[in-house]
């Protein structure tokens, strides 16, 4: 093939691939199979390799990501990215519109109603049609530079079509396709990797990758619904923006409504609710915005939000289904947890066949019986839970549930300590407990050994390759190669992850050991008060219970754990394997200073970073993070979709702060 012929074919392939990208990511209506797409992509890559002079920065092949980022630089938004006031009440939506009428008397006020995409807010700047940068919302004024990661999103044009404005700052959401999320989690489960909780968290984690090539493997899309600075085009109304975005090749909100009264607004909200499940991305509400930019200017802003917009959030969807059985799950500390086995039912975007029931007392309180028609919802549209029973539909054949007298996994008699809700199996060698302990030890919050998911651990325990956590460090390529679905590359990655875990800080090891009653907060406190694991192992109950976040019950549990010879043997094997037993945090709390030192925090809702990362920021500055709100709590850091902890904070008068306020304290 000549260079001229190759150049023609390259342009043709790029055009085809970009069109298929739009159909797949933007329109959710692909016209070719994944295999056919891959063949087009491979042909383009081969031609560019043969004729390197044809490679351009905006080619689809250049979206695989650049060099790993050392850190995220900061970008100042040309105009602030403010968050919206939100409500779950239709009456408050009506009050919002009536307030507009009072502020703009004798004016016709048209609003636009559009889906509230459940993704990660971003701002992109195009200069003369070329993408210059992409940034997260951050604190509204300054965000992280995620340009390299955003460039990997295939539906996003790196160069705008047609005649673009001189300057265009567009705002929108990066999201993960519903079916792409399901496929990604299935692949991770098959590989033994931990699954993502929901598409939004998976998206946030993808955009925060330091290696853009990882972001490039994630099924991300982007949708735009607003602007910051615009130069070179005159827009009078928000509704005019959608056509401009489409003309420029930018993915835009595909369905929106115009309304000029409370009734029309509510009708649009209801109509959106009936069709939003069919969208390619997750939505959790509707956004109502004044259409006229001139009227928006008249209305202005509060310190945090525009007066011309509000977000209405849909209540969690509830469905009814049959409860076929209540099965028992055995946890890492031997706790027996009842789980509802349901007639599969579709709720909040996925099919659910299991749901949490918490404990025997909760089942009795709700009077849940096997055979009942039960009401199920997803807490935060993520975790399925049985929230009620249709007692009026009972036939009389329903059966009351009783906790078993013996562990279903090993047959050992179970015990229930006086004053405790939990029923426990006390056989430390119970195979269910062994599996859970190893999963816990390897989990992200503990030793963070990527790849040690449920499927892999089950195989390791069943084949008796791993009997306790120390056995993890005796695994070899030959042993791992015996397992199903472990190729040469996955084995190599597992061994690398195991080796990396040896340098984790001491508090993670303490937490990973799975000592009864010792959570993250207590683990951090112990690492801050003992110079190494030996000092902790030899501490008396009196010494332990003097430590904040430990106390008498936890102190006794720690002492009992280290008095057990089998546990000490495991620790000696961990020492021999080269794990970090020295504390990097010893004495740091005493040396800490600033606004956070000595304060107690509870973190709730969805934030821009994982909660454990934010907890690290707090504890590094002398604060502590707990799991429940009490009168001793100084601050509740509340993100989006904060639930019962936020309500309790309000009841107790505990100060609630936003992530922006938290960042300012840092």
Burial label for 25, CB within 10 Å (0-12, 13-18, 19+), is buried
Tokens 């939505």 identify what position? 283
Residues near 302 by beta carbon (within 8 Å), at least 6 away in sequence: none
Residues 47, 10: Cα–Cα separation, whole Å: 7
Q: In this structure, what token pair is assigned to residue 168? A: 């265009």
Closest CA to 350 of 188, 187, 199: 199
Q: Which of 4, 102, 116, 631 is catalytic?
A: 116
Kindly state the DSSP code that residue 26 receives in the 8-state scheme.
I
Q: How far apart are CA 611 and CA 215, in angstroms?
A: 21
Residue 476, burial from CB neighbour count under 10 angstroms (0-12, 13-18, 19+) = exposed
**What are the φ and ψ backbone dihedral angles of 534, each rounded to 5 degrees?**
-60, -45
Q: Tell me if 259 sits within 8 A of 268, measured CB to CB.
A: yes
Q: 105 φ, ψ to 5°?
A: -65, 145
Q: Judge contact between 574 and 469, C-beta under 8 A.
A: yes
Helix 178-190 to helix 199-207 angle, to the nearest 10 degrees?
Answer: 80
**How far is residue 595 CA from its own chain's centroid?**
28
The sign of the CA dihedral 404, 406, 410, 411 is: negative
Cβ-based neighbour number of residue 243 at 10 Å = 10
Straight-line distance from the first to the last Cα atom of the chain, in angstroms, rounded to the nearest whole number: 60
φ, ψ of residue 634 in degrees (nearest 5): -85, -40
Which residues are bridge partners to 600 per DSSP? 624
Strands (E), 57-107: 74-76, 86-87
Contact 591, 616 (CB under 8 A): no
Tokens read off for 41: 């992509």
Contact call for residues 527 and 586 (beta carbons, < 8 A)? yes
Three-state secondary-structure class, residue 393 = helix
State residue 354 phi and psi, 5-degree precision. -135, 150
- The upper half-sphere exposure of residue 69, i.e. CA atoms within 13 Å in the direction of its Cβ, equals 20
Query: DSSP label at 22?
Result: I
**How many other β-carbons are positioned within 10 Å of the β-carbon of residue 594?**
12
Instruction: Please confirm, yes or no, whether 116 is among the known catalytic residues.
Output: yes
Catalytic residues: 116
């Amino acid at each position: 093939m000549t260079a001229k012929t190759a150049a023609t074919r390259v342009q043709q392939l790029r055009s085809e691939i970009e069109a298929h990208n739009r159909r797949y990511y933007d329109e959710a209506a692909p016209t070719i199979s994944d295999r056919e797409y891959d063949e087009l992509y491979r042909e383009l890559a081969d031609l560019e390799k043969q004729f390197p002079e044809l490679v351009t920065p905006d080619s689809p092949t250049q979206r695989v990501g650049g060099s790993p980022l050392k850190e995220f630089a900061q970008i100042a938004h040309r105009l602030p990215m403010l968050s919206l006031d939100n409500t779950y009440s239709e009456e408050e939506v009506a009050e919002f519109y009536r307030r507009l009428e009072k502020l703009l008397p004798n004016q016709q006020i048209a609003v636009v109603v559009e889906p509230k995409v459940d993704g990660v807010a971003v701002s992109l700047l195009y200069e003369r049609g070329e993408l210059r940068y992409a940034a997260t919302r951050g604190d509204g004024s300054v965000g992280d530079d995620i340009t390299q990661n955003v460039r990997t999103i295939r539906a996003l044009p790196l160069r705008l079509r047609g005649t673009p404005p001189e300057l265009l700052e567009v705002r929108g959401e990066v999201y993960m396709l519903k079916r792409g999320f399901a496929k990604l989690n299935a692949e991770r489960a098959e590989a033994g990797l931990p699954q993502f909780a929901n598409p939004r968290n998976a998206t946030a984690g993808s955009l925060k990758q330091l290696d853009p090539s990882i972001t490039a493997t994630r099924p991300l899309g982007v949708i735009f619904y607003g602007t910051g600075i615009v130069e070179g085009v005159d827009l009078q109304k928000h509704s005019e923006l959608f056509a401009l975005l489409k003309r420029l090749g930018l993915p835009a909100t595909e369905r929106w409504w115009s309304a000029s009264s409370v009734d029309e607004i509510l009708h649009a909200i209801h109509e959106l609710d009936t069709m939003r499940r069919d969208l390619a991305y997750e939505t959790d509400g509707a956004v109502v915005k004044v259409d006229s930019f001139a009227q928006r200017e008249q209305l202005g802003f509060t310190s945090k939000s525009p007066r011309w917009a509000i977000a209405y959030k849909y209540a969690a969807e509830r469905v009814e289904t049959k409860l076929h059985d209540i099965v028992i799950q055995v946890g890492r500390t031997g706790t027996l947890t009842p789980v509802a086995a349901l007639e599969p039912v579709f709720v909040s975007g996925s099919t659910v066949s299991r749901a949490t029931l918490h404990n025997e007392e909760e089942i009795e309180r709700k009077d849940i019986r096997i055979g009942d028609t039960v009401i199920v919802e997803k807490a935060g549209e993520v975790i399925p839970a049985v929230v009620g029973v249709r007692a009026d539909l009972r036939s009389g054949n329903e059966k009351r549930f009783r906790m078993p007298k013996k562990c279903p996994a090993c047959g050992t008699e179970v015990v229930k300590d006086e004053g405790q809700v939990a029923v426990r199996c006390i056989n430390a060698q119970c195979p269910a407990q062994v599996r859970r302990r190893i999963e816990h030890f390897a989990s992200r919050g503990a030793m963070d050994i990527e790849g040690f998911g449920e499927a892999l651990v089950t195989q390791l325990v069943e084949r008796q390759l791993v009997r306790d956590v120390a056995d993890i460090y005796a695994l070899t390529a030959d042993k791992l190669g015996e397992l199903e679905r472990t190729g040469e590359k996955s084995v190599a990655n597992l061994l690398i992850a195991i080796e990396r875990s040896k340098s984790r800080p001491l508090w993670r090891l303490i937490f990973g050991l799975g000592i009864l009653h010792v959570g993250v907060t207590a683990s951090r406190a112990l690492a801050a008060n003992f110079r190494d694991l030996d000092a902790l192992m030899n501490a008396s109950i009196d010494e332990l219970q003097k430590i904040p976040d430990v106390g008498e019950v936890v102190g006794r549990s720690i002492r009992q754990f280290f008095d057990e010879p089998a546990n000490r043997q495991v620790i000696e094997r961990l020492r021999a394997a080269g794990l970090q037993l020295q504390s990097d945090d010893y004495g740091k709390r005493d040396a800490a200073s600033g606004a956070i030192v000595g304060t107690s925090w509870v973190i709730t809702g969805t934030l821009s970073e994982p909660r454990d990362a934010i907890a690290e920021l707090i504890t590094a500055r002398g604060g502590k993070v707990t799991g429940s709100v009490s009168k001793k709590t100084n601050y509740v850091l509340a993100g989006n979709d904060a639930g019962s902890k936020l309500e309790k904070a309000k009841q107790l008068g505990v100060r609630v702060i936003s992530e922006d306020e938290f960042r300012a304290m840092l």
